[in-house]
Amino acid sequence: MTVKKICCIGAGYVGGPTCAVIAYKCPGIQVTIVDLNQARIDAWNSDNLPIYEPGLEDVVFARRGKNLFFSTDVDKAINDADLIFVSVNTPTKKTGMGAGSAADLAYVESATRRIAEVATSSKIVVEKSTVPCRTAQSMRTILEANCRENIRFDILSNPEFLAEGTAITDLFNPDRVLIGALQTEEGLKAQQALVEIYTHWVPIERVITTNLWSSELSKLAANAMLAQRISSINALSAICEATGADVDEVAYACGRDSRIGPKFLKASVGFGGSCFQKDILNLVYLAEQFHLPEVAAYWRQVVIMNEYQKERFVHRIISTLFNTITNKKIAVLGFAFKKDTGDTRESAAITLIKDFIQEHARVHLYDPKVEHAQIYMDLIEPGVADSKAQVEKHLTICSSAYEACQDADAVVVVTEWDEFKDTHLDYQKIYDSMHKPAFIFDGRLILDAPKLRKMGFKVEVIGKHNLAGTA
């Protein structure tokens, strides 16, 4: 089967960039990305895309209106397509059975039922969202129960392995493309059709074909193992601070071991993003459902360590500032969960600012890409702050790092944006504008601490024993 038309249901962080790149690399295939959110589709059709990713604008603007389209007409796109990506949100459930760990598959089920209801010809349906193992079976059951004469649905799993901030680079030159299928004649034919799309630009040796369930579990497993490495080095960072070891030196020494390698051994205030915590909790829930409590406890500890790292950093800030930050001005640099993205999901900044507000500090925040409305939305969520009035009383969103740091008692670097490095910002200017003693807390290990100390800063760096102001 040759795929000529693709539909992607869901215009978010996965569906938008992924299918835009497919359109870019496969000009002979028509790609339509659909979403029920009119404002989001309008943004995709404008000059101000709803997602910030380096290189994304170039890809979208090159193909939009040619073989790349954005629409709210879901039914037409489904009917026209040969292959349909289901790329909707799968948040962690907040209530009901499995709350706090299980994925909420309501959007996946809704999209699957929509396909079954409106399709008038056979389709390849590709599970693109990150989902618990065996979700494809539920999708298959729904589709088969609604099959009509001469219409069949083949299910594939094609998880994404994108890192936000480098998504376009990852899509152009992926480590691997994983495609899972039922091991039937029809399933293997559908799998090959998707293989042929990716091999327009991906070397065939990087395209891995597996059974359906291995593909689903591989996505959760990969993210869990990456998050585990971060939590491991963060656990060691606490020991480094207590013993006088330097976490950068420890990470470098460990990373030189070819069996370990250097990647994901950078200590920080904690990991965030849409995938790591959600996928680990999915794995925890899966283990619990299969009565594997020791396995569930093992993976849950990765999340516990991540939360501990945030709490530990806040405690270090408060204790260094003479055990109180009441009415003190804290400049927070960064709100996105990592640099080169506007995504704030599970960002460490949310937890830190929540704690600062509860301690009655005056928080002045600057982030170069996160919209003000998103910041307030994240901080006013239940359990984060009592009300918008409380947040607005304690939080000021600034237009530059210099504005945020003016008259501050302390500067806290939370996101590793390049512009926050001491090679980009004039920290002497910042020091001169601050209350004295001027404290700076580096939660991302991006600053030259000795250089800042020479200016007069009292510097605290995560994973390092240095007491504020010492050499």
Q: Could you list the active site residues?
A: 275
Residue 15, marked binder: yes
Phi, psi of 467 (to 5 degrees): -80, 150
Residue 40, marked binder: yes
Residue 81, marked binder: no
Residue 163, marked binder: yes
Residue 91, marked binder: yes
Residue 338, marked binder: yes
Residue 411, marked binder: no
Residue 130, marked binder: yes
Pairwise CA distance, residues 92 & 297, whole Å = 18
Residue 264, marked binder: no
Residue 26, marked binder: no
Residue 13, marked binder: yes
The tokens for 88 are: 């909707």
Residue 2, marked binder: no
Burial pattern 9-19, b for ≥16 Cβ within 10 A else e, equals bbbbbbbbbbb
Pairwise CA distance, residues 185 & 445, whole Å = 52
Residue 356, marked binder: no
Residue 337, marked binder: yes
Residue 88, marked binder: yes
Q: In what order do the strands lie in the sheet with 439-442?
A: 395-397, 362-366, 329-333, 410-413, 439-442, 458-461
Closest CA to 56 of 87, 88, 19, 28: 19
Residue 216, marked binder: no
- Give me the DSSP letters along 378-425: HHSSTTT-S-HHHHHHHEEE-SSHHHHHTT-SEEEE-S--GGGSTTTS
Work out the burial of residue 122: count CB atoms within 10 Å of its CB; fewer than 13 is exposed, 13-18 middle, 19 or more buried.
middle
The tokens for 64 are: 């939009």
Which residues 6+ apart lie within 8 Å of 158 measured at CB?
85, 126, 127, 128, 177, 178, 179, 180, 194, 215
Residue 212, marked binder: no
Residue 185, marked binder: no
Closest CA to 128 of 144, 116, 152, 112: 112
- The partner residues of 364 in beta bridges, in order of sequence, read 331, 396
Residue 386, marked binder: no
The tokens for 270 are: 């904690």
**Number of H helices and number of E strands within the chain?**
18, 14
Pairwise CA distance, residues 142 & 138, whole Å = 6
Binding site for substrate, by residue number, is: 160-164, 219-223, 259, 266-272, 337-338, 444
Binding site, by residue number, is: 10-15, 35, 40, 88-92, 129-130, 160-164, 219-223, 259, 266-272, 275-278, 337-338, 345, 444
Binding site for NAD(+), by residue number, is: 10-15, 35, 40, 88-92, 129-130, 164, 275-278, 345
